[in-house]
A and B are shown apart, each in its own frame.
Chain A
Amino acid sequence: MSATILVKAAILVDGTRADILVSEGVIVKIGSGLSMPAGTSGAVTVIDGNGLTALPGLVDLHTHLREPGSEQSETILSGSRAAAIGGFTAVHAMANTSPVADTAGVVEQVMSLGDAAGYTTVRPVGAVTAGLAGLRLAEIGAMANSRARVRVFSDDGKCVSDALLMRRALEYVKTFDGVIAQHAQEPRLTEGAQMNEGTLSGQLGLAGWPAVAEESIIARDVLLAQHVGARLHVCHVSTAGSVDVIRWAKARGIRVTAEVTPHHLLLTEDLALNYDARFKVNPPLRRSEDVRALRNGLADGTIDIIATDHAPHPSEDKDCEWGAAAFGMVGLETALSVVHAAVVHTGHLSWTDVARVMSRVPAEIGRVPGYEFGIEIGAPANFTLYDSSVSRVFDTTMLHGKGQNSPYLASALPGQIIATIHRGYPTVLDGKLLSPEELAPYAGVNRG
């Protein structure tokens, strides 16, 4: 079934108001006073966009969907729903599943399950090393040439710490226009690490995760990327020193891109004070100086994109002592609101910048087509409508994945996604997710 959607009087990122007409999966008209074309058949939806900001569909370069293998934490369907309600129309599913996404078979399965769910485009990330074991390369070429056309490779969760293997990986993915997304964490410097290493970790008696363990890997990797002329992407940059290293690398013309998570833009290490494991994440929450440097780095372009590192866990993995708890927080549902609070409110980014760092550039890094021009006539209809005027106290009813491990529960956050349009059909309307049944006819037509 094809859908025709007319959005009335939404606010585009440049501040102008416009109607947006979608037909057959494409934005066909943008202008004022648009109406439904005569003789429109199929499903027809009119959305009152008054007061809503229209953003191009958000693209997450760093999502843990947990399927296959940990379906009690998240499935591709449940994670896709969390993505849609967060305004995402494409997510990159990290490779640390079980089995690991290190073969064409697994990545094709992940993509197919994403298409079948229909809430968001699921782009599988391939492992860099077989089984994430850090010993030999995974079948990068097979994954790149598979139906899933993988372009992002990462052992995320683990660092490719062997310098020679990292060099080879950077060189090898050049063959396929791929990129290595490095989880920068020197393993020996972070054995048993629990939180940012500093005065607070010393007082709380929690083993420290020193900034240098991240910065030293980034420094090594940018030099390796320069040496072999490859593309490097740095996952979840968390320290002021890392921002400096990346700024230096970019000034030298090294092809490095970097991401920061919403939580590292807003939260600080002192939240560990009561040992509430919802705030345990890897890399850890850092100092307020780091948060400032990350915001400034994002504003000046040193950091290219925002990525969620959405990491769902079952409650028993958080409802325990800090040392036993799993690392990670869910983030898809809250990403845009947190970005709004952390960098839009503060004047670091405009909505045009948000569209760049949460849609166009992550798509470019991941080689996801269709996001080059944002909301434009002729572009695939992937966009979201955001009410920036509201403020909500965040609670578990607003979480739509399986994980409830959000650090924002009981906190007031600005804004709400009112509608998300994915491949020309709605996944969210009136602030509510469509049901899988409601989605089925659209998802089917776009499948495969």
Chain B
Amino acid sequence: MRHLLTTKGLDRDTAIGILDVAEEMAEASARTVKKLPTLRGKTVVNLFFEDSTRTRISFEAAAKRLSADVINFAAKGSSVSKGESLKDTAQTLAAIGADAVVIRHPASGAPTVLARSGWIDAGIINAGDGTHEHPTQALLDAFTIRRRLHGDASRGKGLDGVTVTIVGDIVHSRVARSNVWLLTALGAVITLIAPATLLPIGVGHWPVAVGHSLDRALETNPDVVMMLRIQSERMQASFFPNAREYSRQWGLDDERMARLYPTTIVMHPGPINRGLEISSAAADSAQSTVLEQVTNGVSVRMAVLYLLLSGEREGLA
């Protein structure tokens, strides 16, 4: 694998391959000596143009467990404030000798631009770009679902026929996009639930079912309910009237939680707005995978770094 920029276009076998390597990594991490020598001498740069401590420390832990050297580079500058340009930063990192660059950027497509630019030769991992994609989040979500369903027998398996309902701010969510492409490639059946304002124009062309009623969606007893984070600025911009109306219509509150099948998995990419899109009881229940997602995130990111940097850089994606 040369880069990981999107899950769109990732085929089933490649995706299962990544998840299987992540299983190996999870197994290794469970041992008392967590560190593997695999990426000794490699330099991984966490290039964050947008604050995200959670994602950064997950990548950092992953790289360090593989014995890579890690440089954290918090770059300022975005599409609004003219800071250091992406080009200048990339050329600096190339000069430092980065082997992989994990990039988080507020502009959709910034990792793609970096990968195609010729400014830097390193493998590029998209750690979230604008409202476009967040591929490692989708991979860790798929990994988490597969483990819940198949446990130790997960290796080699897809998510065929697994029903997944994704709820909330689809239009602004890179997590939703990456999950739609990846989970579909793995055979899952996806339903998106949101008010019409929070669904992208053209969603009718996506390989998903679309609805507006969370209650009706829950009546179908989906295997997975994935709640997305709601940002307060959406209220200001009239995507919906206020938090109370939102959580009444689209929040996973205690009453809805009580109606779920006991086997339904409740997911959230974090950070959580407790009481808005999900109640505390729902987030902390045994059906919730919120903390497993964090743990699995490290294994999945180890797998991605390994596949990018361990020599087999030709061929895939």
- Which residues from chain A sit less than 8 Å from chain B, CB to CB? 194, 197-208, 210, 274-277, 316, 319-324
On chain A, the residues within 8 Å of B116 by CB distance are 274, 276
On chain B, the residues within 8 Å of A205 by CB distance are 108-109, 129-133, 174, 177
In the assembled complex, the Cα of A220 lies from the Cα of B108 at a distance in Å of 33
In the assembled complex, the Cα of A252 lies from the Cα of B117 at a distance in Å of 51
In the assembled complex, the Cα of A304 lies from the Cα of B12 at a distance in Å of 51
On chain A, the residues within 8 Å of B86 by CB distance are 320-321, 324
Tell me whether A201 and B201 are in contact in the complex, defined as CB-CB below 8 angstroms, given that A320-B87, A321-B79, A322-B108 are known contacts. Answer: yes
In the assembled complex, the Cα of A320 lies from the Cα of B112 at a distance in Å of 11
Task: List 21 interface pairs A-B (beta carbons < 8 Å), by A numbering.
Answer: A200-B202, A202-B200, A205-B131, A205-B133, A206-B108, A206-B109, A206-B130, A206-B132, A208-B201, A210-B201, A274-B109, A274-B112, A316-B85, A320-B113, A321-B86, A321-B107, A321-B110, A323-B107, A323-B108, A324-B78, A324-B107
For window 262-290 of B, CB contacts with A under 8 Å fall at: none
The answer, yes or no, to whether B8 is at the interface (CB within 8 Å) is yes
Interface range for B: 20 to 34
Tell me whether A322 and B202 are in contact in the complex, defined as CB-CB below 8 angstroms, given that A203-B8, A205-B130 are known contacts. Answer: no
On chain A, the residues within 8 Å of B8 by CB distance are 203
The answer, yes or no, to whether B203 is at the interface (CB within 8 Å) is yes
Contact A202 B87, beta carbon cutoff 8 Å = no
The answer, yes or no, to whether B97 is at the interface (CB within 8 Å) is no
Contact of B201 among A194, A198, A323 (CB under 8 A): A198
The answer, yes or no, to whether B171 is at the interface (CB within 8 Å) is yes
The answer, yes or no, to whether B31 is at the interface (CB within 8 Å) is no
Tell me whether A321 and B109 are in contact in the complex, defined as CB-CB below 8 angstroms, given that A201-B201, A205-B131, A205-B132 are known contacts. Answer: yes
The answer, yes or no, to whether B106 is at the interface (CB within 8 Å) is yes
The answer, yes or no, to whether B216 is at the interface (CB within 8 Å) is no
On chain B, the residues within 8 Å of A316 by CB distance are 85, 87
Chain A residue nearest to B202 (CB atoms) is A199
On chain A, the residues within 8 Å of B205 by CB distance are 199
Tell me whether A202 and B112 are in contact in the complex, defined as CB-CB below 8 angstroms, given that A319-B87, A321-B105, A323-B130 are known contacts. Answer: no
Tell me whether A321 and B202 are in contact in the complex, defined as CB-CB below 8 angstroms, given that A203-B8, A205-B131, A206-B108 are known contacts. Answer: no
Contact of A204 among B87, B106, B132 (CB under 8 A): B132
- Minimum CB–CB distance for A341 against chain B, Å: 26
On chain B, the residues within 8 Å of A208 by CB distance are 201
Contact of A320 among B85, B131, B174 (CB under 8 A): B85
Contact of A275 among B87, B112, B201, B206 (CB under 8 A): B112
Q: Top 3 nearest A-B pairs by Cβ distance?
A: A199-B202, A202-B200, A275-B109
In the assembled complex, the Cα of A198 lies from the Cα of B200 at a distance in Å of 8
Contact B109 A198, beta carbon cutoff 8 Å = no
- Which residues from chain B sit less than 8 Å from chain A, CB to CB? 8, 78-79, 85-87, 105-110, 112-113, 116-117, 129-133, 171, 174, 177, 200-203, 205-206
On chain B, the residues within 8 Å of A323 by CB distance are 79, 106-110, 130
On chain A, the residues within 8 Å of B79 by CB distance are 321, 323-324
In the assembled complex, the Cα of A207 lies from the Cα of B174 at a distance in Å of 13
In the assembled complex, the Cα of A210 lies from the Cα of B200 at a distance in Å of 12
Contact B202 A202, beta carbon cutoff 8 Å = yes
- Minimum CB–CB distance for A169 against chain B, Å: 30
Contact B203 A202, beta carbon cutoff 8 Å = yes
In the assembled complex, the Cα of A261 lies from the Cα of B65 at a distance in Å of 55
Contact A204 B201, beta carbon cutoff 8 Å = no
- Minimum CB–CB distance for A313 against chain B, Å: 14
Most buried by B among A277, A316, A323: A323
Contact A204 B108, beta carbon cutoff 8 Å = yes
- Minimum CB–CB distance for B272 against chain A, Å: 22
In the assembled complex, the Cα of A207 lies from the Cα of B200 at a distance in Å of 10
Contact B202 A198, beta carbon cutoff 8 Å = yes
- Minimum CB–CB distance for B178 against chain A, Å: 10
- Minimum CB–CB distance for B194 against chain A, Å: 13
On chain A, the residues within 8 Å of B78 by CB distance are 324
- Minimum CB–CB distance for A298 against chain B, Å: 27
Other A-B pairs, 10, CB within 8 Å; known A201-B202, A321-B113, A323-B130: A198-B202, A202-B171, A205-B129, A206-B108, A208-B201, A274-B112, A276-B113, A322-B113, A323-B110, A324-B78
Most buried by A among B106, B117, B132: B132
Contact A322 B107, beta carbon cutoff 8 Å = yes
In the assembled complex, the Cα of A324 lies from the Cα of B83 at a distance in Å of 11
In the assembled complex, the Cα of A194 lies from the Cα of B106 at a distance in Å of 14
In the assembled complex, the Cα of A210 lies from the Cα of B79 at a distance in Å of 21
In the assembled complex, the Cα of A207 lies from the Cα of B79 at a distance in Å of 13
- Minimum CB–CB distance for A213 against chain B, Å: 13
- Minimum CB–CB distance for A80 against chain B, Å: 30
